[in-house]
């Protein structure tokens, strides 16, 4: 049997996610020999560029532009074509970002550890990098293989018309009726998007509300928005079987009142993503994982194997591109800097769910503050009633709310929840204020551009309630 070819480098990066590619580029710029292994040429650049943030937000944008008179299937097809053209360009840019560097070797294939600092790569088709059975050795290894959609094991989950968050982006034919299983950010975004394109959307939620980690009034505010857009919400409903007839998918639902049936043209499972570690052979490297398959790391993202780090979604926790980017800073500091950065240094990390209008959050909820024993002041105001916030009215969408949780003793902001036009931008200002310890009073009295959504802070923070 022919021995595989060998390659020895200074740094080996497994996976092309935000953190991994940025770390690889930084090490190459420092003169290190770098190999980056990616199992799919369609994923040069990682999840965000190819199947996550950018393509879905492109589709969401086009769904918002659709007029009621526009044919739903045609509008969706045009949006998918634009999505694909954009992603092809970004994929190519990301490939050349590393491949054009003299000290970087791009390897196409599935890597599997044979020891803590050596992997064997099984080549994959369709790539533009090195494509052969290859053993790669490096003193420094970074695992950045990301996460993948959780696969349902419900009978019928493999039928045509059953999608995950990746495949639904090319749904064919366009579903006039779509059922979505899930209650989190991914489920909400696709529900809002596909309703925008013209689908009749039904969300099937196992629990008794959306966004179970949010305050009840916030979850209800988001639910009302979706209902007002024509999205049906079914709580206490679990899909137990899927059967295909000639015309539709027939779902069997377990509900509080017994078994029910629902017919739909397509079904989306949006029940989360899990770390992509199953094919890595981590045992051979002595790399520990948790019960969900996430790689266990310390505060500097070191794994249980010396010289091996993990960053991004593969290490578990919140799955956000900005966190993966910051992971690269932590690892870079650990191996080339003073070693002072820690993941626990992060505070006030904002997030946005891109429904229409967007739902953005930062910090803790009022319920969490109460459980901690904090004395707080809170306010929740409907956007339509905020006089000093003309921008949503000017662009024709004054829906939503703004909620703040403020420490009554220090006047510092503990958390905020925004559902309104421009929320994805305003939340960054609030997050910065929290990190810089700017008080609620200082934000209230700030001078902001007009007309903007930010100037709502002047009015909303002037309505904080009594301490409780």
pLDDT at 247: 84
Nearest to 303 by CA among 109, 144, 426: 144
Q: Which residue has the higher pLDDT, 198 or 150?
A: 198
Judge whether 211 and 353 are in contact, CB under 8 Å.
no
pLDDT, tens digit, 9 for 90 and up, residues 49-75: 999 999 999 999 999 999 999 999 999
Average pLDDT over all residues of the chain: 95
User: Above 90 in pLDDT, residue 130?
Assistant: no
User: Above 60 in pLDDT, residue 1?
Assistant: no
* Per-domain residue ranges of the chain: 5-148+274-345, 162-271, 351-463
Bridge-based pairing of strands 258-264 and 266-269 is unpaired
Q: Fill in the DSSP letter of residue 384.
A: G
CA distance 38 to 15: 5
Any bridge partners for residue 380, and if so which?
A: 403
The domain made up of 5-148+274-345 has a fold known as FAD/NAD(P)-binding domain (3.50.50)
pLDDT, tens digit, 9 for 90 and up, residues 373-390: 999 999 999 999 999 999
**Percent of the residues in the chain that have a pLDDT greater than 90, as a whole number:** 93
User: Above 90 in pLDDT, residue 330?
Assistant: yes
The encoded tokens of residue 96 equal: 């050349």
pTM across the whole model: 0.94
CA distance 388 to 393: 11
Residue 385 has a CB neighbour count (10 Å cut-off) of 10
Task: Indicate if 162-271 has the same CATH topology as 5-148+274-345.
Answer: yes
The encoded tokens of residue 462 equal: 């002037």
Judge whether 356 and 343 are in contact, CB under 8 Å.
no
Q: Which residue has the higher pLDDT, 1 or 372?
A: 372
Taking residues 329-358, report their average pLDDT: 96
Residues 6+ apart with CB under 8 A from 61: none
| DSSP line for 99-130 | HTSTTEEEEEEEEEEEETTEEEEEE-TT-SSB
Q: Is 450 a catalytic residue?
A: yes
Any bridge partners for residue 209, and if so which?
A: none
User: Above 80 in pLDDT, residue 3?
Assistant: no
CA distance 67 to 427: 29
pLDDT at 275: 95
Q: Is 189 annotated as a binding residue?
A: yes
The catalytic position among 170, 261, 292, 450 is: 450
The encoded tokens of residue 76 equal: 């969706």
pLDDT at 272: 86
Residue 165 has a CB neighbour count (10 Å cut-off) of 23
CA distance 137 to 133: 13
pLDDT at 2: 64
pLDDT, tens digit, 9 for 90 and up, residues 430-449: 999 999 999 999 999 999 99
**Percent of the residues in the chain that have a pLDDT greater than 70, as a whole number:** 100
User: Above 60 in pLDDT, residue 206?
Assistant: yes
Q: What DSSP element (H or E) covers 428? A: helix 423-435
pLDDT band at 319 (very low <50, low <70, confident <90, very high): confident
CA distance 367 to 112: 44
The architecture that CATH gives domain 162-271 is 3-Layer(bba) Sandwich (3.50)
Taking residues 81-98, report their average pLDDT: 97
Q: Give, in words, the CATH class of 351-463.
A: alpha beta
pLDDT at 246: 82
Q: Is 187 annotated as a binding residue?
A: yes
Q: What are phi and psi of 326, to 5 degrees?
A: -70, -30
Q: Is 188 annotated as a binding residue?
A: yes
Nearest to 94 by CA among 9, 165, 12, 25: 25
Helix %, strand %, coil % of the chain (to 5): 35, 30, 40
Taking residues 194-201, report their average pLDDT: 98
The encoded tokens of residue 269 equal: 């499972």
pLDDT at 408: 97
pLDDT band at 159 (very low <50, low <70, confident <90, very high): very high
Q: Which residue blocks in 280-422 are alpha helix, DSSP H?
A: 321-336, 366-372, 390-394
Q: Is 5 annotated as a binding residue?
A: no
User: Above 60 in pLDDT, residue 101?
Assistant: yes
Residue 278 has a CB neighbour count (10 Å cut-off) of 12
Q: Is 316 annotated as a binding residue?
A: no
Measured torsion, CA atoms of residues 173, 178, 184, 185, in degrees rounded to the nearest 10: 40
Length of the chain equals 468
Q: Which residue has the higher pLDDT, 79 or 133?
A: 79
Q: Which residue blocks in 168-283 are alpha helix, DSSP H?
A: 185-197, 216-228
Q: Is 184 annotated as a binding residue?
A: yes
């Amino acid at each position: 049997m022919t021995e595989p070819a060998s390659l020895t480098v200074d740094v080996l990066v497994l996976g092309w996610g935000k953190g991994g590619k940025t770390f690889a580029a930084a090490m190459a710029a420092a003169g290190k020999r770098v190999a980056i292994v990616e199992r799919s040429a369609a994923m040069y650049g990682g999840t965000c560029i190819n199947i996550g943030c950018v393509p879905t937000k492109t589709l969401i944008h086009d769904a918002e532009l659709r007029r009621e008179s526009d044919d739903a299937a045609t509008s969706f097809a045009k949006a998918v074509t634009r999505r694909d053209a954009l992603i092809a360009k970004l994929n190519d840019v990301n490939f050349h970002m590393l491949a054009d560097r003299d000290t970087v070797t791009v390897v196409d294939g599935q890597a599997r550890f044979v020891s803590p600092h050596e992997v064997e790569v099984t080549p994959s088709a369709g790539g533009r990098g090195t494509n052969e059975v290859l053993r790669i050795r490096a003193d420094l290894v970074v695992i950045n293989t990301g996460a993948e959609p959780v696969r349902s094991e419900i009978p019928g989950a493999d039928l045509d018309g059953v999608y995950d968050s990746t495949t639904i982006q090319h749904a064919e034919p366009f579903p006039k009726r779509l059922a979505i299983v899930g209650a989190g950010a991914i489920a909400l975004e696709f529900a809002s998007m596909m309703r925008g394109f013209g689908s009749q959307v039904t969300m099937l939620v196992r629990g008794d509300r959306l966004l179970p980690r949010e305050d009840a009034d916030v979850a209800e505010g988001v639910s009302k928005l979706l209902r007002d857009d024509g999205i049906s919400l079914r709580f206490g409903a679990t899909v137990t079987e899927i059967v295909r007839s000639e015309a539709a998918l027939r779902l069997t639902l377990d509900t509080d009142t017994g078994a029910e049936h629902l017919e739909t043209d397509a079904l989306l499972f949006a029940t989360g993503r899990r770390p992509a570690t199953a094919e890595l052979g981590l045992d051979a490297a002595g790399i520990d994982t948790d019960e969900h398959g996430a790689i266990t790391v310390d505060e500097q993202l070191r794994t249980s194997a010396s010289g091996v780090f993990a960053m991004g979604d593969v290490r578990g926790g919140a799955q956000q591109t900005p966190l993966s980017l910051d992971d690269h800073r932590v690892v870079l500091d650990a191996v080339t800097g003073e070693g002072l950065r820690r993941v626990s240094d992060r505070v006030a990390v904002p997030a946005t769910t891109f429904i229409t209008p967007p739902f953005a959050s930062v910090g803790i909820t009022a319920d969490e503050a109460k459980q901690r024993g904090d004395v707080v002041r809170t306010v929740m105001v409907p956007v339509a009633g905020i006089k000093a916030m003309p921008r949503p009215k000017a662009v024709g969408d004054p829906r939503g709310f703004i909620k703040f949780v403020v420490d009554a003793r220090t006047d510092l902001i503990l958390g905020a929840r925004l559902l309104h036009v421009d929320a994805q931008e305003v939340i960054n200002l609030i997050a910065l204020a929290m990190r810089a310890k700017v008080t609620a009073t200082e934000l209230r009295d700030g001078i902001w551009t007009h007309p903007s959504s930010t100037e709502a802070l002047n009015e909303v923070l002037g309505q904080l309630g009594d301490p409780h």
